[in-house]
Homo-oligomer: A and B are copies of this chain.
Amino acid sequence: MRYPNGRIYQKQQRTKTRIAEPSFANRGQTLEQQIEEANEYYLEKELAVIHKKPVPIQIVNVHYPARSAARITEAYFKTPSTTDFNGIWNGLHIDFEAKETKNKTSFPLANIHPHQVEHMGRVARQNGVVFFIFKFATLSRYFLFFYEDFEPFWTRMLQGGRKSITLSEVENNSYELQVSAYPELHYLPIIEQYMNEKER
């Protein structure tokens, strides 16, 4: 695992020692809820402006009753062509996708859409900060996997290799995110640390 070593991390580690008891990982939130909680916190504190994009919907029929709100009566879910979350932090464009698995030994790539990965590549080439948040739900472990570190594993799959990333590969190529009290998934410090390491 690539251990954090900056100023930010020390702060995290201290926090972790104090609060990362199993109880905190168990408020029963989904990964999406955990991220939305962090985003609301960032918005309130003016730390960042990051939102989940609405689910894309193909609207087929809308009913307009007099004197009341338009009602959509037929619509279908569309496959997303971009990532779930984006926004801005400190002048940097942030773009990421959240995925969870119940698997304990590897992260399957099957539920990642090729269109999403293409989108992430495009944003990375425009110098955005692009990553996945992977959650191993059964293990209660979370990782920020930056696109440039993720891409070789995706390419390996496209070239006929394994269709997942083993837990130890995840540990060695991404940043583990420790659960805190509030927000549970305080992921901005990891981005800051990543940017600092990149600059060196």
A residues sitting closer than 8 Å to B (CB atoms) are: 43, 46, 48-49, 51, 53-57, 69-77, 82, 86-93, 95, 119, 122-123, 125-128
Contact for A53 among B49, B54, B69, B75, CB less than 8 A: B54
A76 touching B69 by the CB < 8 A rule? yes
B93 touching A92 by the CB < 8 A rule? yes
Contact for A88 among B54, B77, B127, CB less than 8 A: B127
Q: Which residues of B contact A55 (CB under 8 A)?
A: 54, 57
State the Cβ distance, A77 to closest chain B Cβ, in Å.
6
CA A89 to CA B69, docked complex, whole Å: 37
B89 touching A126 by the CB < 8 A rule? yes
Cβ-closest chain B residue relative to A95: B88
B72 touching A122 by the CB < 8 A rule? no
Q: Which residues of B contact A51 (CB under 8 A)?
A: 82
Contact for A46 among B77, B122, B127, CB less than 8 A: B122
A125 touching B54 by the CB < 8 A rule? no
B72 touching A76 by the CB < 8 A rule? yes
Cβ-closest chain B residue relative to A70: B77
State the Cβ distance, A14 to closest chain B Cβ, in Å.
27
State the Cβ distance, A63 to closest chain B Cβ, in Å.
10
Q: Could you give 25 example pairs across A and B, Cβ below 8 Å?
A: A46-B122, A48-B126, A49-B122, A51-B82, A53-B53, A54-B54, A54-B57, A57-B57, A69-B77, A71-B75, A71-B76, A72-B74, A72-B75, A72-B76, A72-B77, A73-B74, A75-B75, A86-B86, A86-B87, A88-B95, A88-B123, A88-B126, A91-B92, A91-B128, A92-B93
State the Cβ distance, A93 to closest chain B Cβ, in Å.
4
CA A49 to CA B82, docked complex, whole Å: 10
State the Cβ distance, A42 to closest chain B Cβ, in Å.
10
